[in-house]
């Protein structure tokens, strides 16, 4: 996976956008635009510096709004970046 900066437009959740960097396969500088401030800051802090695969494993499928959540949207963004 190449190093990259990602800006992802979310769907179906309170946060409208997630941005982050992938460096050497790990996720850094995670920022949610909007959403529940405490929850999004918590997710960002807990995922900071983890390998992308670990964030996917830990957050995939977390539900908040009928199958969607900010952590699950972060997973979608990471998976999309990994497939580019």
Model confidence pLDDT, tens digit, residues 39-80: 999 999 999 999 999 999 999 999 997 889 999 999 999 999
pLDDT the model gives residue 66 = 86
Q: Check residue 48 and give its pLDDT.
A: 98
> With respect to CATH, is domain 4-82 assigned 3.30.390?
yes
Q: What is the pLDDT of residue 84?
A: 85
CB 3 within 8 Å of CB 20: no
CA distance 65 to 47: 21
Query: In what helix (H) or strand (E) does residue 39 lie, and over which residues does it extend?
Result: helix 37-47
Give the model's pLDDT for residue 41: 97
The tens digit of pLDDT for each residue in 20-45 reads 999 999 999 999 999 999 999 999 99
Domain ranges of the chain: 4-82
């Amino acid at each position: 996976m190449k190093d990259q900066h990602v800006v992802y437009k979310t769907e179906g959740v309170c946060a409208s956008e997630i941005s982050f960097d992938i460096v050497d396969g790990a996720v850094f500088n995670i920022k949610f635009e909007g959403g529940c401030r405490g929850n999004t800051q918590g997710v960002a802090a807990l995922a900071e510096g983890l390998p992308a695969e670990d964030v996917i494993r830990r957050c995939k499928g977390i539900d908040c709004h009928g199958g969607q959540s900010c952590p699950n949207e972060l997973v979608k963004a990471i998976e999309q970046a990994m497939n580019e």
